[in-house]
């Protein structure tokens, strides 16, 4: 059976840990050459070893997605190394500080939106430019969240950034459809990552948040990366402008009889 991303060149932002790392390894197993960005070199080397252990060819690009020059350079260096860009997963994100909106700071707003929203826009801009330069065609997946579909006290800045990602996704999909470029988003609920550990480490809070997921547990990075792989492959060739929820049932609500 042909591997899902055979001969493809992929760029993943935030690929040093968590969902980004797992996706990089899965893409390598499925035949892609994988460039990935991040800011932590030790973790990046670990990801590289995993990509190569999966039989893949990897390239780490130290980059801050909130800076246009860094994003443009990451795309250019990917193309210089591998000749083209076929697939992109715009995954880099931060949670910021969670407090009520009336207590939020401008600094936290700028920090969270600089990475979560501006960063996705910058990635889309330079990825689409490169794909058009190649003659069109390609797939892009943006990292949103169930937070892009709901409101939640204390998380307003983060939630606003993730709602914005879905708006960018739909617009990019509409603008690029005729060029054969598909753009979708994934919307995970709580996934077992460092970010979740930071946000929900307090035992009682962890228990309450876990109970919001009808499946009774948090998700794993692999459960998200498998969805990203599907959206980035030809197996989803008639899918664009969509937000795929990987949420353990969170959006349908907890079981009141449990």
Active-site residue, 201 included: no
Q: Which of 246, 128, 228, 131 is nearest to 188 (CA)?
A: 246
Provide the percentage of residues in the chain whose pLDDT is more than 90: 89
| pLDDT tens-digit readout, 242-254 | 999 999 999 998 7
Please give the C-alpha separations between residue 160 and each of 102, 110, 117, 152, 163, in angstroms, as whole numbers. 15, 12, 9, 10, 5
pTM for this structure?
A: 0.96
162 is catalytic: yes
Question: One of 63, 144, 225, 236 is an active-site residue; which one?
Answer: 144
Active-site pick, 145, 162, 225, 233: 162
CATH class name, domain 9-191+220-246: alpha beta
Q: Which one is catalytic: 63, 158, 236, 243? A: 158
Indicate the domain borders of the chain: 9-191+220-246
> What is the tens place of the pLDDT at every residue in 26-81?
999 999 999 999 999 999 999 999 999 999 999 999 999 999 999 999 999 999 99
């Amino acid at each position: 059976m042909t591997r899902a991303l055979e001969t493809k060149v992929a760029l993943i932002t935030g690929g040093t840990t968590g969902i980004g790392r797992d996706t990089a390894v899965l893409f390598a197993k499925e035949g892609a050459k994988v460039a990935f960005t991040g800011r932590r070199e030790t973790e990046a080397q670990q990801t590289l070893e995993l990509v190569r252990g999966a039989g893949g060819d990897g390239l780490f690009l130290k980059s801050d997605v909130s800076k246009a020059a860094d994003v443009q350079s990451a795309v250019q260096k990917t193309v210089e190394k591998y000749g083209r860009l076929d697939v992109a997963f715009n995954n880099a994100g931060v949670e910021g500080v969670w407090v009520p909106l009336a207590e939020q700071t401008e600094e936290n707003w700028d920090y969270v939106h600089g990475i979560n929203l501006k960063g996705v826009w910058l990635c889309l801009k330079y990825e689409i430019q490169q794909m058009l330069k190649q003659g069109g065609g390609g797939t892009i997946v943006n990292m949103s969240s169930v937070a892009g579909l709901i409101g939640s006290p204390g998380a307003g800045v983060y939630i606003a950034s993730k709602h914005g990602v879905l708006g960018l996704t739909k617009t990019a999909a509409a603008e690029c459809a005729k060029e054969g470029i598909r753009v979708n988003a994934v919307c995970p609920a709580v996934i077992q990552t460092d970010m979740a550990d930071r946000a929900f480490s307090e035992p009682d809070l962890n228990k309450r948040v876990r109970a919001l997921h009808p499946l009774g547990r948090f998700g794993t990075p692999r459960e998200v990366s498998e969805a990203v792989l599907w959206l980035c492959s030809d197996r989803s060739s008639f899918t664009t402008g969509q937000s795929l929820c990987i949420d353990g049932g969170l959006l349908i609500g907890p079981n009141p009889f449990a």
